């Protein structure tokens, strides 16, 4: 087995367990069946929100941290390069996110369809309701994909920064950025009300999807120079 296939198999097997078994088999399907049971046998009002995707978002964020952290020393020990590992981890993770989000939306669509047939008033938890009230599978899927990709990319970027700088320096830089951002915002120099701008402009879903996806890809690309020469062990908490 060559180095590329060995690295791919290592990342793939970890992603398969996390996305395939943990997210879909252990959490999403049981929650889907639970909300089907509750919706059929109990009377639910409009204040009830059926949530089956919450654990998936949390696990995907954790995979961006623990997945790479656990694979990193093993892959390098097998002879893989850091560049190859970063490329493989990013590509496999993005494909896994795509497939997982698709199945999540399939289950949500099935739940919504059955609730409408049973005249259940409960709502389905989905990030797309912040931007688009009328349900459309394609639009909801794209917004969900955008949202989850953004979560994964930003989490992975923040982890790599913490990995290289350590806890103390990461917190110091975070506070410096927060202070600068707060001063710029309240001085009127820069307005950071991005969410308000997005929701009031009634942006096309495609434009929104493209905008956030570009930010997510930039965040992933930024991990390369950070981890290109990274040591096998992260900085200690005291650093």
Across 137-162, average pLDDT: 92
- Comparing C-alpha atoms, which of 18, 5, 30, 116 is closest to residue 67? 18
Report the distance separating Cα 4 and Cα 80, nearest Å: 7
**Entry pTM:** 0.87
Cβ proximity of 59 and 22 under 8 Å = yes
- pLDDT grade, residue 188 (50/70/90)? low
State pLDDT tens for residues 1-34: 455 578 899 999 999 999 999 999 999 999 999 9
pLDDT attached to residue 5: 77
What SS3 state is found at 50? strand
State the greatest distance between any 2 C-alpha atoms of the chain, in Å, as a whole number. 59
Q: Which residues contact 29 (CB under 8 A, 6 or more apart)?
A: 107
Nearest 10 degrees: Cα torsion 124, 128, 133, 137: -80
- Sequence-ordered alpha helix ranges (H) in 118-204: 137-186, 194-200
The pLDDT tens digits for 111-134 are 999 999 998 888 888 888 877 778
Q: Does 200 score more than 60 pLDDT?
A: no
């Amino acid at each position: 087995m060559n180095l590329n296939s060995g690295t791919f198999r290592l990342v793939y097997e970890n992603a398969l367990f996390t996305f395939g078994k943990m997210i879909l088999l252990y959490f999403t399907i049981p929650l889907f069946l639970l909300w089907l049971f509750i919706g059929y046998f109990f009377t639910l009002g409009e204040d009830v929100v059926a949530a089956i995707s919450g654990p998936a978002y949390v696990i995907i964020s954790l995979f961006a941290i623990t997945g790479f952290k656990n694979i990193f020393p093993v892959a390098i020990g097998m002879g893989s390069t850091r560049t190859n590992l970063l490329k493989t981890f990013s590509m496999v993770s993005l494909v896994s996110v795509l497939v997982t989000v698709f199945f999540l939306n399939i289950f949500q669509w099935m739940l919504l369809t059955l609730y409408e047939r049973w005249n259940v008033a409960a709502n389905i938890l989905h990030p797309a309701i912040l931007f688009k009230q009328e349900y459309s599978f394609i639009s909801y899927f794209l917004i969900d994909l955008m949202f989850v990709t953004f979560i994964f990319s930003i989490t992975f970027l923040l982890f790599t920064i913490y990995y290289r700088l350590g806890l103390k320096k990461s917190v110091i830089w975070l506070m410096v950025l927060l202070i600068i951002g707060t001063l710029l915002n309240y001085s009127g120099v820069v307005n950071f009300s991005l969410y308000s701008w997005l929701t009031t402009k009634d942006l096309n879903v495609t434009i929104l999807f493209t905008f956030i996806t570009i930010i997510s890809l930039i965040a992933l690309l930024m991990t390369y120079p950070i981890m290109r020469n990274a040591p096998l062990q992260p900085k200690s908490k005291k650093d």
